[in-house]
Structure 1
């Protein structure tokens, strides 16, 4: 038993960024939606979110309020605070469409995500379009910025070849 502990000890002292690393921009985006999701009575996986976002990441959120466009900007710590609280309801992100373009250490992903408070609900509570900018830091991809925009009721988001409720894995 002591020998096993001595073998595992070096792994326990590694920084989180070394323990798991997404090897592609696609994996990082999939990890984002999985980590934000949570069951009722639980939190989002903020440790994973902290790992996949660059420390200086910026998050922009767009929606309509009283018929007028509103955009909010958050730094990573402010974005993670509400996600770290235990949620009364579940929150499930289902990415149904993704297009990624990569050049060298830069990537941009355009994805369509359905959000549900009940994982098995046939209809999403809302749908959003997302633009994720990533940078390859060492051997893993980190999110530099995320811009999400909630669907406008009279302007549906186009998601060719996507099927509502059929979540992408990677």
Structure 2
């Protein structure tokens, strides 16, 4: 009986130490989602980086509410508008390697915010660069970002976006005032 008690005590102690170590190793991202602005800034920053620079995918996933979607839209090869629905993990799997191999910086250049109660819709105009030192973007577009404030933090619910094209230029009302 004494051996059994010692064995149980040893197992509990090991489990307690292990749980404490994993808690200590977990990063605290809570400050990144305290305000709408900090959440949007974290969203842009986490996907941005120089060629060869790893992204913090743990933070990326932390920004999103479970069941959140990323929804790119654009014309297919037949010229018809299509959308694709991705989870944050789908996005990481489909775009993560490309971001690191090519370098990618997405910078917000204009924002329109509409809030009602605990929901917010942000129209966020962006420019994309391969390096922070690039002067001219290789792409522009608008992210339609839906967010939820749960009383403690902001959650990204969906990001629905489209790129600017010659046929679909960004309207002046969604660009910085010149």
* Bucket of the pairwise TM-score, normalised by the shorter protein: 0.7 to 0.9
CA distance in 1, matches of 2:128, 2:36: 21
Q: Which runs of 4+ in 1 moved over 6 A?
A: none
> Partner of 1:68 in structure 2?
80
Q: TM-score, normalised by structure 2?
A: 0.75
Relative contact order: is structure 1 or structure 2 higher (C-alpha 8 Å, sep ≥ 6)?
Answer: 1
List alignment gaps of at least 5 residues for structure 1.
1-8, 165-170
Q: TM-score, normalised by structure 1?
A: 0.78
Does the CA contact (< 8 Å) of 1:128 and 1:151 recur in 2? yes
List alignment gaps of at least 5 residues for structure 2.
1-19
More helix by share: 2
Change (3 A) 1:63 1:43: farther
CA distance in 1, matches of 2:166, 2:31: 39
More strand by share: 1
> Partner of 1:119 in structure 2?
132
For the pair shown, which has the larger CA radius of gyration, 1 or 2? 2
Structure 1 residue 152 and structure 2 residue 165: aligned? yes
Post-superposition Cα deviations, 1:103-148, rounded to whole Å, max 9, x if no partner, equal 2211110011111113222221111111111011341101011101
Which of 77, 82, 104 does residue 91 from structure 1 map onto?
104
CA distance in 2, matches of 1:163, 1:89: 31
